[in-house]
A and B are shown apart, each in its own frame.
Chain A
């Protein structure tokens, strides 16, 4: 394994097709086709040639492939020359290379960071909604 691959705890192979939700605590690398949602506390790398029809939420997102879906990064999004994003982007910082393509609404800056953090926090810790409990249910719980 090369150095670049070894920094990623989770790797979705180039010949893999995945449908569903994935969440990681560390870094993840997507080489194949992914459909669903990705949530990571670390970095997500979408490799060249891979397609992601997904909502991607992470600390850092690096794109060399194609993402069809909304992208939200608490820190930064980096789009390489071969990278393509079709969807909305919210991030604190973004760097985009000449040749990359974007189609969607973009919000980059401190407002984007707070927005991303707030929504990430909301997703991670769903707010406890007051529930109406009948006296009978309360008695059962006790």
Chain B
């Protein structure tokens, strides 16, 4: 019996901006543009997460008890925050800040931004924003 072709999902590398297709089940892969390992799975933050960089081609969700302290957060499909973020943000999706969300950083760059009444923000915002594809051809 013929194997069913798996569903594909279009993603863009957060490191070089190269767009390509992967299976919906893929959690991480190597970018054909920059040959570096990239994360594709969605990230759920439920507690305090101190990291240098939080990067994924998928979605990032920060719950009300979640807190991310990072240098940079990069997400391909958007960020939903009900907790606190202390980082620079780059997302090609929608950045959603809930009524109790707190964001503090140098820059927030996103395709679109939805802020609920009551959210607290401090930093430079550039909306709408799209990632430019880096020239990786050698």
Which A residues are closer than 8 A to B by beta carbons?
A: 76, 93-112
Contacts and interface: CB of A to CB of B under 8 A. Distances in A.
A103 B126 contact: yes
| Binding site secondary structure of chain B | strand
How big is the B interface, by class?
A: 10 to 19
Interface string B93-128: 010000000100000000011111111111111111
Contacts of A96: 113-115
A106 B121 contact: yes
Given A100-B127, A101-B127, A103-B126, A94 B121 contact: yes
Interface of B: 94, 102, 112-128
Given A104-B125, A105-B124, A98 B94 contact: yes
A-B pairs, top 5 by smallest CB distance, nearest first, are: A109-B120, A96-B115, A95-B117, A108-B121, A98-B114
A131 B102 CA distance: 45
A1 to B, nearest CB: 28
B118 A102 contact: no
Nearest to B117: A95
A110 B119 CA distance: 10
B125 A106 contact: yes
Contacts of B114: 96-98
Contacts of A100: 112-113, 127
Given A96-B115, A104-B124, 15 more contacts: A76-B117, A93-B117, A96-B114, A97-B114, A98-B114, A101-B128, A102-B125, A105-B123, A106-B121, A106-B125, A108-B119, A109-B102, A109-B121, A109-B122, A110-B120
A101 B126 CA distance: 8
Nearest to B115: A96
Q: Which of B114, B118, B125 has the most CB of A within 10 A?
A: B125
A94 B120 CA distance: 8
B98 to A, nearest CB: 12
Contact of A99 (B102, B112, B117, B119): B112
B32 to A, nearest CB: 32
A117 to B, nearest CB: 16
A106 B126 CA distance: 10
Nearest to A79: B115
